[in-house]
Amino acid sequence: MHEIPVIPYDWRLTIAGIDQNGTEMERARLRGILGRPRPDTKIVRAIEARQNEDGGFPHQMASGRLSTIDATTTTLEWLWDLGLAESPYAERACTYLLSAQRPDGAWDEPPGLLRFSPPPRLLPGDPRVRCRATALVAFWLARAGYRDDVTRRAVDYVAARQAPDGRVLGFRETTWLLAAASALLEGPAPAVTARALESLAAVPDDRWSAAAFAGMLDCLGAAGLSRSVALIARGVDRLRALVRPDGTWLSDEGEAYQTDVTLAALRALVFHGAVEPADPRPATMTSQPATGAEGSTA
């Protein structure tokens, strides 16, 4: 078997940076990624306060705004980080997603989102956005255990828009979400998954951002795919190569999203067993990591 080269990366620098610069929620998510079983009560209350009556979460997490597919699936990711995947908040979020499915099996962002001038990836009515939203929901419902006709219809909707080379209409994220959702439902063998993975493998390294590598690795790992898949082995290698000297990863969307991208990258590396201290001397840290990461090696 091909041996994956080890690129020096000290995850303790990442932990120290998030401890120093992250929000309270981001620090709680960090502890969850490192193995802490449950966050403090005030973090749970913050999630509860953000959740709308319909079970969804508001655009940009701003209280009083309408629930969106993007905000709700983002919060599901947070809940997984926090060890709250089986909480009432996650269940209500899934109920909202189920209630928002269109008759054709797809999802779309709500029309009311237009008044907030959303970015292109959230523009309701755009076929690319509809495809992304459907793939997002399919992945999260399948991950949450909803592997029934609702989720299969969603996967079928996205797969019908898969080009012969494996790419899906619109955003690259949609392709790896389809691969992950299909693998969760059927395993890694179906042609839909295989073609999607082939198309992603054909994308040159310089066209991948750290956020994209992290997102892909997270989703495919959650679907049961490991570093035995060449695309994932390459993604892990490249993600570690993109880390900055301070242990953080750069966000294409600006400094405000740097910690979120860094959390996603760390989660992906932990998930795939690709973190280890580069130096036996302790890095400067404001607090110690929770038990669970120390034994993880590349």
User: Is residue 261 situated within a structural domain?
Assistant: yes
pLDDT of 63 over the 60 cut: yes
pLDDT, tens digit (0-9, with 9 covering 90-100), for 95-141:
999 999 999 999 999 999 999 999 999 999 999 999 999 999 999 99
**Which candidate, 107, 15, 228, places its Cα nearest to that of 220?**
228
The span from the CA of 158 to the CA of 35, in Å, is: 34
* pLDDT, tens digit, 9 for 90 and up, residues 180-234: 999 999 877 679 999 999 999 999 999 999 999 999 999 999 999 999 999 999 9
Q: Which pLDDT does position 57 carry in this prediction? A: 98
Q: How far is it, in rounded angstroms, from Cα 54 to Cα 40?
A: 25
In a domain? residue 296: no
Would you say residue 3 has pLDDT above 50?
no
In-domain check, residue 177 = yes
Query: How many C-beta neighbours within 10 Å does residue 274 have?
Result: 25
Domain that holds residue 61: 11-271
Distance, CA of 178 to CA of 144 (rounded, Å): 16
Nearest to 15 by CA among 252, 298, 267: 267
Question: Tokens 């299969």 map to which residue?
Answer: 152
Looking at the chain, the number of H-run helices and the number of E-run strands are 12, 2
Q: What is the pTM of this model?
A: 0.88
Cβ within 8 Å of residue 281, ≥6 positions away: none
CA 142 and chain centroid, separation: 14
The single residue listed with the structure tokens 């990836």 is: 121
**Residue 194 belongs to a domain:** yes
Asked whether residue 115 is domain-assigned, the answer is yes
Give the DSSP H or E segment for 67.
Answer: strand 67-68
- pLDDT over threshold 60, residue 294: no
Nearest C-alpha neighbor of 268 from the set 80, 54, 108? 80
Task: Report whether 66 contacts 113 (CB < 8 A).
Answer: yes
Report DSSP state, residue 168: B
Nearest residue to 146 (alpha-carbon basis) of 110, 93, 225: 93
What's residue 179's pLDDT? 96
Within-domain flag for 215: yes
The answer to whether residue 286 sits within a structural domain is no
- Tens of pLDDT, residue by residue over 271-288, are 998 886 544 333 333 333
Q: Cα dist. 170→135, 154, 161, 174 in Å?
A: 12, 16, 10, 7
Nearest alpha carbon to residue 185 among 215, 153, 161, 216: 153
Query: What type of residue is 211?
Result: A
133 neighbors 109 (Cβ within 8 angstroms): yes
Q: Report d(CA 104, CA 72) in Å as an integer.
A: 21
Could you tell me the CATH number of the domain that includes residue 122? 1.50.10.20
Rounded Cα distance, 194 and 206, in Å: 23
- pLDDT > 90 fraction of the chain, expressed in percent and rounded: 76
Total domains, the chain: 1
Report residue 18's pLDDT band, with 50, 70 and 90 as the boundaries: very high
pLDDT attached to residue 169: 85
**pLDDT average, residue stretch 242-269:** 89
Query: 2 pLDDT exceeds 90?
Result: no
Q: What is the mean pLDDT of residues 27-31?
A: 95
Q: What is the CA radius of gyration of the chain?
A: 19
Residue 117: inside a domain, yes or no? Answer: yes
